[in-house]
Amino acid sequence: MRIKNILPPFSLGLSPMEGVTTPCFRQICKRYGADVLFTEFISSEALVRDVESSHKKMNFKEEERPLVVQIFGNSEESLCNAAHIAEEIGCDWVDINWGCPVRKVAGKGCGSGILNDIDKMEYLTKKVVESVSVPVSVKTRLGYSDDNKPIVEIAERMQDVGVELISIHGRTRSQMYKGEADWSLIGEVKNNQRMRIPVFGNGDITSAEKMLEYKNRYGVDGILIGRAAMGNPFIFKQCKDILEGKNDSKFSVKERICVCKEHLEGLKQWRGDRYAILEMRKFYSGYFRGLDNFKPYRIRLVTTNDYQEIEEILSLVGKEFNYEF
Ligand SMILES: Cc1cc2nc3c(=O)[nH]c(=O)nc-3n(C[C@H](O)[C@H](O)[C@H](O)COP(=O)(O)O)c2cc1C
């Protein structure tokens, strides 16, 4: 049970997100209180084929630990080899993505596509566990379709083959992102007397208050926050504060701008101007949520292709909205 020893009794994690949980954003989330960070999912086939952009996704700094590399795939050879590559770069553990619902992934039997074949899921997971000396976790969903949600059985079988932590997104594959995440089955997994490994809950945690409510109601060992952290790494500090009985965290426009600029610069250093300009577009509304009359600036930020101009617009925002909210 090595993962259990690395983690605090209750963990807040930055959920793995493609195009979001890049090294610089993970580092920012860590600073604001995330206890555990996941890379974006990385194709095991691409890692094995030595695709540079896939290897880059594993770049990390010591301060990010515990750092988890998430891989996806559906062949024994590529999953085991990819897990081995992740182990060699020194990650704290490897996570297998058995939850991605998008067609190009699940349609090939990767991600949540495996939920149609739990025997294969068990077999491949066991092989990955056996092929590395670092711990292995899995992130998955309740089941494949709404009339079949075998997550309680899946969790037991994952534990039995040596998985040391399971993260559960409270939706099925068919649901994609529709409807509300159903945490009652996550609670059932956690309360199953047979379960000894940590159980993380995930899905629709949008505020520190909701995090606290769900932690108390379902008794999970950790909660992963995804979309609500996009452009809002501050949510981890708010969560930490509420867990300590404080509830007064405020983040000035100045702080938001500084972090946003750091994020932009981090993406630029990592993958160049063009990547930074395009990828940052999905974060601005998060960084400046609640700011009246931000829209004209947002439109400029998401339409310009000029890095310098983005910096200028952010400075203008700072001048115009010099107040706390
Ligand atoms: C843009 C985006 C990319 C995602 N990429 C991944 C991924 O690479 N691996 C993964 O396990 N889940 C991925 N997810 C799912 C999230 O980790 C999380 O399970 C889901 O968004 C539900 O949590 P939330 O309601 O807190 O966002 C992604 C979600 C989004 C919105």
Residue of the CA atom closest to atom 2 of ligand 1: 17
What pLDDT is attached to residue 201?
Answer: 99
pLDDT under 50 in the chain at which residues? 324-325
Domain boundary assignment for the chain: 2-243, 253-320
What pLDDT is attached to residue 321?
Answer: 82
- According to DSSP, residue 67 is labeled E
What pLDDT is attached to residue 121?
Answer: 98
Per CATH, the number for 253-320 is 1.10.1200
Instruction: Tell me the CA–centroid distance for residue 302 and ligand 1, in Å.
Output: 22
State how far the Cα of 15 lies from the Cα of 40, in Å rounded to an integer: 9
Instruction: Tell me the CA–centroid distance for residue 214 and ligand 1, in Å.
Output: 18
Q: What is the pTM of this model?
A: 0.97
Residue of the CA atom closest to atom 21 of ligand 1: 226
Catalytic entry in 29, 100, 239, 260: 100
- Give the burial string for 256-267 (b: 16+ CB within 10 Å, else e): bbebbbebbebb
State how far the Cα of 261 lies from the Cα of 280, in Å rounded to an integer: 10
Give the CATH number of domain 2-243; options: 3.40.50.360, 3.20.20.70, 3.40.50.150, 3.40.50.920.
3.20.20.70
What pLDDT is attached to residue 158?
Answer: 98
State how far the Cα of 255 lies from the Cα of 287, in Å rounded to an integer: 10
Clarify whether 100 is annotated catalytic. Answer: yes
Which one of 104, 167, 227 would you pick to mutate in the ligand 1 pocket, going by the greatest count of ligand atoms within 8 A of its CB? 227
State how far the Cα of 25 lies from the Cα of 10, in Å rounded to an integer: 22
Instruction: Tell me the CA–centroid distance for residue 100 and ligand 1, in Å.
Output: 8
Instruction: Tell me the CA–centroid distance for residue 172 and ligand 1, in Å.
Output: 13
